[in-house]
């Protein structure tokens, strides 16, 4: 190689060194501004919209069951603590009565199927036993003597009307009462079913359509 080519060769070498140096600095700057893991060939997670490159924790999705294996029932009537109760699926009417404090002394358990399974959203109604009806007054048949005629304090053919029991009367029996038509008779039956029977005659005043005047008329004609 001639002496004339040596300076040119040295210039080429110097230019090559400068280009390599500049290229190294450029790559270093790119790595500093970018993701180091990407420069190293490591796959990273996608950056969040806010610029945070840390991987976001997976979203927790809580899936609830439509039913939790329990039933809700309304226990009403002749029980100690009427109300709404939640019991395990498959529970019986007897379990619901226990949760409600048990039946009251006058509860008519013979009218309730204690072994029946509870159904969600249903009402368990425990009726009260009807009070024993008073025995009818014996007919006045005393004679005044031999050949005498029978005496009676009531007009002939009339007998004292027997009070109608509000807890056992039918719609037709209630309809025969003075001032009670089919509409009010049905309201009396609805009230009896919703509250498990009447505790006293005065409770009849709670029935819609029966005011104080009508209650005073019906009081001697009904009983519980």
Q: Say what the pLDDT of residue 98 is.
A: 95
Residue 189 falls inside a structural domain: yes
Half-sphere exposure of 55 (CA within 13 A, CB side): 5
Q: Say what the pLDDT of residue 31 is.
A: 55
Q: Say what the pLDDT of residue 166 is.
A: 87
Tell me what percent of the chain is helix, strand and coil, each rounded to the nearest 5.
35, 15, 50
> Total structural domains in the chain?
2
* pLDDT surpassing 50 at residue 154: no
Average pLDDT value over all residues in the chain: 74
Could you tell me which residue, 68 or 69, shows the higher pLDDT?
Answer: 69
Residue 200 falls inside a structural domain: yes
Q: Say what the pLDDT of residue 135 is.
A: 44
Distance separating alpha carbons of residues 209 and 218, to the nearest angstrom? 13
Single out the residue of 179, 189, 70 nearest to residue 120, CA to CA. 70
* pLDDT surpassing 60 at residue 193: yes
Residue 10 falls inside a structural domain: no
Most confident of 58-62, 95-99, 107-111: 95-99
Residue 135 falls inside a structural domain: no
Q: Say what the pLDDT of residue 116 is.
A: 93
pLDDT in tens, 133-143: 444 444 444 44
Could you tell me which residue, 165 or 1, shows the higher pLDDT?
Answer: 165
Cα–Cα separations (whole angstroms), residue 11 to 6, 148, 159, 180, 220:
9, 166, 145, 126, 133
CB atoms within 10 A of CB 29: 10
Q: For residue 185, what is the domain's CATH number? A: 1.10.150.320
pLDDT in tens, 11-63: 788 888 888 888 777 777 765 565 444 444 444 444 444 545 555 554 443 43
Residue 177 falls inside a structural domain: yes
Q: Say what the pLDDT of residue 30 is.
A: 66
Single out the residue of 119, 74, 117, 127 nearest to residue 95, CA to CA. 117
Residue 204 falls inside a structural domain: yes
Q: Say what the pLDDT of residue 161 is.
A: 59
Distance separating alpha carbons of residues 87 and 78, to the nearest angstrom? 20
Name the residue range of residue 191's domain.
164-223
pTM > 0.85: yes or no: no
Residue 42 falls inside a structural domain: no
């Amino acid at each position: 190689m001639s002496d004339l080519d040596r300076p040119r060769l040295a210039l080429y070498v110097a230019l090559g060194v400068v280009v390599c140096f500049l290229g190294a600095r450029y790559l270093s700057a790119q790595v500093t501004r970018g993701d180091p893991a990407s420069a190293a060939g490591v796959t990273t997670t996608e950056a969040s919209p806010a610029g945070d490159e840390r991987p976001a924790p997976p979203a927790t999705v809580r899936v609830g069951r439509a039913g939790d294996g329990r039933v809700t029932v309304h226990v009403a009537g002749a029980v100690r603590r009427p109300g709404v109760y939640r019991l395990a699926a498959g529970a019986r009417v007897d379990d619901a009565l226990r949760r409600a404090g048990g039946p009251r002394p006058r509860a008519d358990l013979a009218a309730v199927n204690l072994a029946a399974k509870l159904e969600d959203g249903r009402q368990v109604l425990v009726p009260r036993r009807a009070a024993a009806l008073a025995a009818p007054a014996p007919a006045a048949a005393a004679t005044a003597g031999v050949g005498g005629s029978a005496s009676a304090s009531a007009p002939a053919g009339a007998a004292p009307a027997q009070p109608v029991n509000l807890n056992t009367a039918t719609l037709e029996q209630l309809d025969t009462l003075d001032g009670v038509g089919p509409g009010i008779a049905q309201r009396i039956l609805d009230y009896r079913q919703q509250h498990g029977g009447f505790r006293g005659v005065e409770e009849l005043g709670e029935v819609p359509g029966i005011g104080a005047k009508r209650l005073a008329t019906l009081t001697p004609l009904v009983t519980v």
